[in-house]
């Protein structure tokens, strides 16, 4: 089989790129390791930047997002028993974010790929890129007993943090920068009315918590837990009790509880691999960088990679201009690092670190005090949260 662009990974990054390129007449295939049901069972991001939403519309995938997604003009931070609001709209020059789950984004992208007859292979085993530093790369995968070879001009590694693509860049080329945080987030999804119409990030002496949502009948809550905890250690009741203890009393009093329909623990990590290109292999999204979820940047950073890569490939195929491809890694990384900085900052501001000293506590309190007493600080948070320009 021969295609122009072979995309490894059928998550949001890979599907979005494939859809955008298809609309420009560029031929792609997406190779996904798992079944569609498996991919759609993952509960992940909930907050989309306006730039990401724009890209979804450009990919002709924005209709349901615009109909069912909620536009949020702000969020709240609970600290020291009170609630303070970050007015995103006011401090970002009129921008906002959309609350619409990654699961739904991915579902919409799969449906769009089906509508256009896009090639998406599921359960592709042992996907392996070959000859990426030659002019004629190819990718192999196993379909049962059959070994399939895909010849292509470019390979896109959009296969997430645990994928194969990054690992196929030689060790003496790749530099990895990593910070692992000493806690995780235990998250639950429940068919209950959200406790608040806007997200509430909670800084509390028992640890961080987050009240988020997917719709007015579907809530998503998180609490900071030690890395040694397992989801089975937490009954629904234990989760609700702990969440209530971390919320301001009036918020806790109106929390509607119910059975969880999903419960999982995500470790928190910051990670960047450089460069994001080697020969004809280009990395995008979680394959190249991870952020702790605190700033809601992960999927949004993936989308900015896709924006740059899409334009770079269109430049190559439709205009004979390779400057976008040549500049991809540098351009993408400049924005990636800004998202890293913001996610790290939000994480440091809101979590309880097991190894902290009193000096750290004072700095955290001062940072919070500064945030809510300075319009400049509010602008800084708001422009980052709604998403820096691509």
- Beta carbons within 10 angstroms of residue 146's beta carbon: 7
CB of 3 to ligand RFL, least distance (A): 15
- Picked from ligand PHB, ligand RFL, none, the partner binding residue 32 (CB below 5 to 8 A depending on kind) is ligand RFL
List all residues 6 or more positions away from 130 whose beta carbon is below 8 Å from its beta carbon: 137, 138, 139, 140
- Picked from ligand PHB, ligand RFL, none, the partner binding residue 220 (CB below 5 to 8 A depending on kind) is ligand PHB
Q: Is residue 387 near ligand RFL by the rule CB under 6 A?
A: no
Q: Is residue 10 near ligand RFL by the rule CB under 6 A?
A: yes
Element of type H or E holding 260: strand 260-274
Instruction: Give the SS3 label for residue 203.
Output: coil
- Picked from ligand RFL, ligand PHB, none, the partner binding residue 79 (CB below 5 to 8 A depending on kind) is none
Q: Which stretch binds ligand PHB (CB under 6 A): 21-29, 155-163, 293-301, 305-313?
A: 293-301
Strands (E), 310-375: none
What x/- string results for residues 218 through 257 when contact with ligand PHB is judged by CB under 6 A? --x-------------------------------------
Q: Do 352 and 208 touch, CB atoms closer than 8 A?
A: yes
- Picked from ligand PHB, ligand RFL, none, the partner binding residue 77 (CB below 5 to 8 A depending on kind) is none
* CA 247/CA 251 separation, integer angstroms: 6
- Picked from ligand PHB, ligand RFL, none, the partner binding residue 10 (CB below 5 to 8 A depending on kind) is ligand RFL
Q: Which residues pair with 82 in a beta bridge?
A: 79
In 3D space, the residue among 130, 100, 56 whose CA is nearest the CA of residue 302 turns out to be 56
- Picked from ligand RFL, ligand PHB, none, the partner binding residue 335 (CB below 5 to 8 A depending on kind) is none
Q: Is residue 46 near ligand PHB by the rule CB under 6 A?
A: yes
Q: Is residue 351 near ligand RFL by the rule CB under 6 A?
A: no
**How many residues at the interface with ligand PHB, by CB under 6 A?**
9
Q: Do 186 and 223 touch, CB atoms closer than 8 A?
A: yes
Among 102, 168, 257, 329, the residue binding ligand RFL under the rule CB under 6 A is: 102
Burial of 311 (0-12, 13-18, 19+ CB in 10 A): middle
- Picked from ligand RFL, ligand PHB, none, the partner binding residue 13 (CB below 5 to 8 A depending on kind) is ligand RFL
Q: Do 265 and 230 touch, CB atoms closer than 8 A?
A: yes
Strands (E), 144-226: 146-151, 154-157, 175-190, 200-202, 209-215, 218-225
* CA 281/CA 168 separation, integer angstroms: 9
For the segment 217-246, give every residue that binds ligand RFL (CB under 6 A).
Answer: none
Which residues of the chain form contacts with ligand RFL (CB under 6 A)? 8-14, 31-34, 39, 44-47, 102, 124, 127, 158-160, 162-164, 185, 187, 266, 285-286, 293, 296-300, 302
Which residues of the chain form contacts with ligand PHB (CB under 6 A)? 45-47, 199, 212, 220, 293-294, 296
């Amino acid at each position: 089989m021969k295609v122009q662009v072979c995309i490894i990974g059928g998550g949001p990054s890979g599907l979005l790129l494939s859809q955008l390129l298809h609309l420009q007449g560029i031929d792609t295939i997406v190779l996904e390791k798992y079944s569609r049901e498996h991919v759609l069972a993952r509960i992940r991001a909930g907050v989309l930047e306006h730039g990401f939403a724009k890209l979804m519309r450009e990919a002709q995938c924005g209709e349901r997002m615009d109909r069912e997604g909620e536009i949020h003009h702000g969020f709240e931070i609970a600290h020291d028993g009170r609630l303070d609001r970050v007015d995103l709209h006011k401090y970002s020059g009129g921008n906002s974010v959309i609350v619409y789950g990654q699961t739904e984004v991915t579902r919409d992208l799969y449906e769009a790929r089906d509508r256009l007859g896009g090639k998406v292979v599921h359960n592709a085993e042992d996907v392996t890129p070959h000859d990426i530093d030659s002019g004629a790369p190819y990718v192999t995968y196993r379909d049962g007993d059959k070994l399939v070879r895909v010849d292509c001009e470019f390979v896109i590694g959009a296969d997430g943090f645990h994928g194969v693509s990054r690992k196929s860049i030689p060790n003496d080329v790749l530099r990895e920068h990593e910070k692992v945080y000493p806690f995780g987030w235990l998250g639950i999804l429940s068919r209950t009315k959200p406790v608040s119409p806007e997200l509430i990030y909670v800084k509390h002496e028992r640890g961080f918590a987050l009240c988020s949502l997917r719709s007015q009948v579907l809530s998503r809550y998180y609490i900071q837990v030690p890395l040694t905890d397992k989801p089975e250690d937490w009954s629904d009741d234990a989760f609700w009790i702990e969440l209530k203890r971390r919320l301001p009393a009036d918020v806790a009093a109106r929390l509607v509880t119910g059975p969880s329909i999903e419960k999982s623990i995500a470790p928190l990590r910051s990670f960047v691999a450089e460069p994001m290109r080697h020969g004809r292999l280009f990395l995008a999204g979680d394959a190249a960088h991870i952020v702790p979820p605190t700033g809601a940047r992960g999927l949004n950073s993936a989308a900015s990679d896709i924006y740059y890569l899409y334009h770079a490939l269109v430049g190559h195929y439709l205009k004979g201009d390779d400057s976008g491809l040549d500049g991809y890694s540098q351009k993408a990384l400049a924005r990636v690092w800004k998202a890293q900085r913001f996610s790290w900052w939000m994480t440091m501001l809101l979590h309880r670190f097991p190894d902290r000293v009193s000096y750290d506590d004072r700095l955290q309190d001062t940072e919070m005090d500064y945030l809510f007493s300075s319009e400049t600080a509010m602008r800084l948070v708001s422009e980052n949260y709604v998403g820096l320009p691509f």
